[in-house]
A and B are shown apart, each in its own frame.
Chain A
């Protein structure tokens, strides 16, 4: 039986779609177009003095060593967030899958952090890791580690990675758990009968069957690391110290809002858009080949 809905009216489908399309145009396409337009202008904060300067904003960006450093920072940050996020949540999901007693409690607690807003997560972890008053700082001091993320760039990066990953683990966990539960028991049992140990069973049977989920989560995590971690960074390090945690999206905000440099900020938005489009395209073309549906 055909599941497609057929409209007999010529205009009703368009009328039904119109509100959604209007919202998309007003809140997505129009600002994006304006950002592209602004990227080619040099203007003062109030827009009283606008000058078309072609690709000058882009040239200035690529000549700025701090902008280029920001690429590297973003790459490191997103790789760390995506890989640790997926690895940890996969581990937790496989463990939670085997638990029989108290399974609901574990699952609820593991899913809970997803409800926390990114900025709150950032502040939470910043408190625990605060150089003077943080609990973790106290423990670290006891172990002889000098923890001061306000001055040390690497430690600041570690802090924002931990805060970002903590949030995302819940989301990944949910998907992995669902994926694990959809794997037919008979396959795993067959492998066990054939003499495969638990680790072998996991890597040769379970993980390949999880690959659609893993691929999906990889895309989502990378986009999350690029954009949604803004709240974490703004609430904690604000790109510091000395730009150690200045990821591309934060720099866009900083240059646009704090420095009122709309041309530079728009140029950065355009570049960021191209990067994410390219990354997603690459992922779909190459990584998806390895996914077994």
Chain B
């Protein structure tokens, strides 16, 4: 009797365990913390609820550099996650790791999931597509650099709350603001992304040779051109005069603007969420300023943010890749994209999602949200404005930012700094090329 009871209990336990094993688990490592992390969990939850074969488990693995290192270590141990969110500067590293990743185009093709690369926004998809037109990773959270002004500060200084369109106008406005008592007329977040990368694309000048690195690993930086030097010298000059307050290398400038300390600010489109939440300033958002004496400006800006890469692993079954393909298709659905876009401020990655959002009237109430897409698609992208792909660009960006900091602190003149940035940056590129040939 006792034995029968035991067998029955074990049988029941086994029955409970079985369904859990029938679902294929898909591991998704991401770096979206806080409110964004909740949005990510919602997405995974929605997908899991919509079907029974696959279960996406979204895990927050820390900030981008840390999660990428964790994924690299996991890959070396044979335990890589299925999907990894990698920031845009890690694109070249992921692309060069041919044995570690599976291009999205291949995953979709092998799983026979409908996939049309043309449905995606060209500037967004172009960043993550190779020269043959194969999409390597799925754009997930893309933003661009925008220009914000504090309308209260303008009014207090007796100026019309109209954003300057060119850098020349910005300098004059900054001088007027400072004269009227504004301690910090201008600041920025992500200095290299805004003032070198986006700056180059916006003015249709190259950041590096070989189509900004997309054409080959033997690319070299070209950010010491006369236009770049002139722009950085201008910023250095503004810093010395107290018109530009340097905030730091990441998004430290966001807080300076949302607190009302600085009147004008260039930063990511994703800063809007924080500015809105702080609720301290009456703000408006605009296209980036440009130098109007440069032919072809303004062209279009490039994206920042991250994309989703599919990682390979020994012993991975085709069924797991099928699940990944289904999840990527799910993420690309217009209604899912619209929800992600409107809730986070990131760009909708497909034209259909953009149209759907427009039709819903969302942009009428939130002009800033549409601006991101408008700036990215201002003109059809050229070889200089499709994006960039430099190896070890985490290091490369830090090199550039170090040289910029030297100019802002008055320690170096812009020409020497940019030449040094090119020399040191090229060393980083050559190291990547040597390790990946």
Contact = CB atoms under 8 A, between A and B. Distances in A.
Given A44-B435, A132-B256, A261 B392 contact: yes
Contact of B72 (A49, A132, A153, A260): A260
A46 B75 contact: yes
A240 B405 contact: yes
Interface residues of B, number: 40
Contact of B395 (A49, A151, A242, A261): A261
A258 B395 contact: yes
A152 interface: yes
B434 interface: yes
B111 to A, nearest CB: 24
Contact of A132 (B249, B261, B435): B261
Interface string B244-261: 001111001000100101
A240 B246 contact: no
A263 B409 CA distance: 33
Given A45-B97, A46-B100, A261-B395, A151 B435 contact: no
B310 to A, nearest CB: 14
A241 B409 contact: yes
A198 interface: no
B247 A242 contact: no
B406 interface: yes
Nearest to B427: A64
A150 interface: yes
**Top 5 A-B residue pairs of the complex, sorted by shortest distance between their CB atoms:** A259-B395, A46-B97, A46-B100, A151-B409, A44-B435
B93 interface: yes
A258 to B, nearest CB: 5
28 contacts: A43-B435, A44-B96, A44-B436, A46-B72, A47-B76, A48-B100, A49-B435, A49-B436, A51-B435, A60-B431, A132-B256, A150-B247, A150-B252, A151-B239, A151-B409, A152-B409, A240-B249, A240-B405, A243-B402, A255-B395, A257-B66, A258-B65, A258-B394, A260-B69, A260-B72, A261-B395, A263-B435, A264-B431
B66 A259 contact: no
A42 interface: yes
Contacts of A240: 249, 402, 405
Interface in B61-77: 65-66, 68-69, 72, 75-76
Nearest to B311: A46
Contacts of A152: 409
B379 to A, nearest CB: 34
A48 B98 contact: yes
A216 B101 CA distance: 51
Nearest to B424: A66
Interface in A39-66: 42-49, 51, 60
Interface in B391-427: 392, 394-395, 398, 402-403, 405-406, 408-409, 411
A45 B402 contact: no
Nearest to A257: B69
Interface size class of A (residues with CB under 8 A): 20 to 34
Given A45-B93, A258-B395, A258-B398, 9 more contacts: A46-B97, A48-B100, A150-B248, A240-B249, A241-B409, A259-B395, A260-B69, A260-B93, A260-B394
B99 interface: yes
Interface in A224-266: 238, 240-243, 255, 257-261, 263-264
Q: Chain B interface secondary structure, helix, strand, loop or mixed?
A: helix
Contacts of A259: 392, 394-395, 428
A44 B75 CA distance: 13
Contacts of A242: 402-403, 405-406, 409, 411
A258 B399 CA distance: 13
A151 B394 contact: no
Interface string B89-125: 0000100111110000000000000000000000000
Interface in B226-250: 239, 246-249
A172 B382 CA distance: 62
Contacts of A264: 431
B131 to A, nearest CB: 21
Given A150-B246, A258-B65, A260-B69, A46 B99 contact: yes
Contacts of A43: 435
Contacts of B93: 44-45, 260
A45 B95 CA distance: 11
A258 B405 CA distance: 20
Nearest to B402: A242
Contacts of B411: 242
B293 to A, nearest CB: 29
A44 B97 contact: yes
Interface in A131-160: 132, 150-153
A42 B100 contact: no
A243 B405 CA distance: 10
Interface in A251-293: 255, 257-261, 263-264
A238 B66 CA distance: 14
Interface in A97-131: none
A60 to B, nearest CB: 8
B408 A151 contact: yes
A42 B75 contact: no
B372 to A, nearest CB: 27
B411 to A, nearest CB: 7
